[in-house]
């Protein structure tokens, strides 16, 4: 089942008198259960493409459908609500709220969506257990290692039961062991629970584990390989 469809999408920026073609006429789709890495050199358009898929940026032209919904045509408020309910995000910088515990960071999205406290408590415990941090539910980010913080971020990204998770360079700030642990967890979530992951990365460890790799260069797809 296709959950993401990208049809001839462009994203152009103007820097002074120069037009930068960050994404230049890209077409592809993502199927439910994919473990997909978008790779390419710096400036190839990887992060811009993920931002477009996640509704964090609007295309200059073209169409983007998430589970059949045209996010390219949504108004700002509608898109914000859709994103909250349907797309999980894992960023390079973790982006945890420092004054909240690990558990409170995970349940934050659920509270925005109107989950009961009982539902929040149960799902938060389940998610932190899934990423191996059930015993750190009451720890604030400052008391967690970088790898642990990123695992909390993965748990948070799954809180709303999203259609898929976008992970932008999720291992960039981690040591080797933490990166391998994180990728083991994401791989197991993909394999055991069918959660779809779309990565933007330079990390060969992610490329090795990905079952599909899209190469970008100068904003265009140069190859789309199923491994």
pLDDT tens readout for residues 105-138: 999 999 999 999 999 999 999 999 999 999 999 9
Whether 97 is covered by a domain: the verdict is: no
Whether 49 is covered by a domain: the verdict is: yes
Indicate the pLDDT class of residue 20, thresholds 50, 70 and 90: confident
Whether 140 is covered by a domain: the verdict is: no
pLDDT tens readout for residues 132-187: 999 999 999 999 999 999 999 999 999 999 999 999 999 998 999 999 999 999 99
Helix (H, G, I), strand (E, B) or coil at 70: strand
Whether 136 is covered by a domain: the verdict is: no
Report the domain count for the chain. Answer: 1
Rounded to whole angstroms, the maximal C-alpha distance in the chain is 55
CB 75 within 8 A of CB 110: no
- Say what the pTM is: 0.93
Whether 100 is covered by a domain: the verdict is: no
CATH of the domain at 185: 3.40.50.300
Of 104, 147, 146, nearest in space to 127 by CA: 104
Whether 8 is covered by a domain: the verdict is: yes
Domain region containing 22: 2-92+161-226
Q: Would you call 99 exposed, middle or buried from its count of C-beta atoms within 10 A (0-12, 13-18, 19+)?
A: exposed
Whether 128 is covered by a domain: the verdict is: no
pLDDT tens readout for residues 53-111: 999 999 999 999 999 999 999 999 999 999 999 999 998 888 899 999 999 999 999 99
Q: CA–CA separation, 2 vs 67, rounded Å?
A: 7
Whether 123 is covered by a domain: the verdict is: no
Q: For residue 101, what are the contacts with CB-CB under 8 A and spacing of at least 6? A: 137, 138, 139, 140
Q: CA–CA separation, 100 vs 65, rounded Å?
A: 34
């Amino acid at each position: 089942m296709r959950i993401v469809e990208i049809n001839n999408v462009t994203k152009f920026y103007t820097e002074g008198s120069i037009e930068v073609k960050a994404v230049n006429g890209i077409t592809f789709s993502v199927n439910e259960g994919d473990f997909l890495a978008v790779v390419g050199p710096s400036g190839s358009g990887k992060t811009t493409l993920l931002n477009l898929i996640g509704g964090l940026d609007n295309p200059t032209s073209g169409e983007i459908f998430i589970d059949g919904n045209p996010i390219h045509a949504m108004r700002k408020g509608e898109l914000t609500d859709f994103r909250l309910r349907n797309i999980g995000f894992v960023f390079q910088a973790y982006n945890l709220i420092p004054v909240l515990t690990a558990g409170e960071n995970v349940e934050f999205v659920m509270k925005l969506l109107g989950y009961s406290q009982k539902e929040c408590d149960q799902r938060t415990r389940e998610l932190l257990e899934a990423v191996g941090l059930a015993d750190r539910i009451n720890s604030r980010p400052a008391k967690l290692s970088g790898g642990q913080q990123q695992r909390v971020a993965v748990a948070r990204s799954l809180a709303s039961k999203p259609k898929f998770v976008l992970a932008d360079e999720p291992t960039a700030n981690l040591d080797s062991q933490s990166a391998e642990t994180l990728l083991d967890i994401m791989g197991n979530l993909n394999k055991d629970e069918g959660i779809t992951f779309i990565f933007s990365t330079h990390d060969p460890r992610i490329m090795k584990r990905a079952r599909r790799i899209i190469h970008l260069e100068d904003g265009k797809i140069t190859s789309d390989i199923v491994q």
